[in-house]
Structure 1
């Protein structure tokens, strides 16, 4: 079995990768927010969210992650994105 330092080093590397991916994800969601503002679309799309949560639950199950964990994490991410999209609407006006 790995020692504590090795386990933590592995966690740190995964955290680095996750932050890199989150930064990339937020770059795209920023573009989506700008698009939505330019085209008069709502900051929130409940239909899209429902589709995403279905896919996320499947991805979680396939990866051995409790789907509720994935839902909670992504609910927070999506709420941040929606908040940012609302800010963009306010700033652009």
Structure 2
């Protein structure tokens, strides 16, 4: 990845703001898929899926190495994001289970 050379703190902040917009858009898109995944999972253990979490962590750490990102930062960001998505998916799973039982 090529990082633009900035001439001021304002330029740095402008670039970070531009990236934040893209990152949040991608988080929103990822969240849409997480929400859909809830309907395919039968139990809360399926939602938590610790083996899948570790697969994702290994994959993104490898990607970090390929793309020049800090693997430790990438892992921490992904662990936090995945934990938050699991919490949201658990709520969606519970909502779907409640509506399936006629509540």
TM range (shorter): 0.7 to 0.9
The TM-score with structure 2 as length reference comes to 0.79
- Whose Rg is larger? 2
Q: How many residues align structurally?
A: 90
User: What RMSD, in angstroms, separates the aligned Cα atoms of the two structures?
Assistant: 1.4
Aligned match of 2:14? 9
| Structure 1 consecutive aligned stretches of length 4 or more whose deviation exceeds 3 Å | none
The correspondence for 2:67, drawn from 40, 63, 68, is: 63
Shift, 1:84, TM fit: 1.5
Structure with higher helix content: 1
In 2, are the aligned partners of 1:33 and 1:84 still within 8 Å (CA)? no
Unaligned runs of 5+ in 1: none
Ranges in structure 2 where 5+ consecutive residues have no aligned partner: 1-5, 99-103
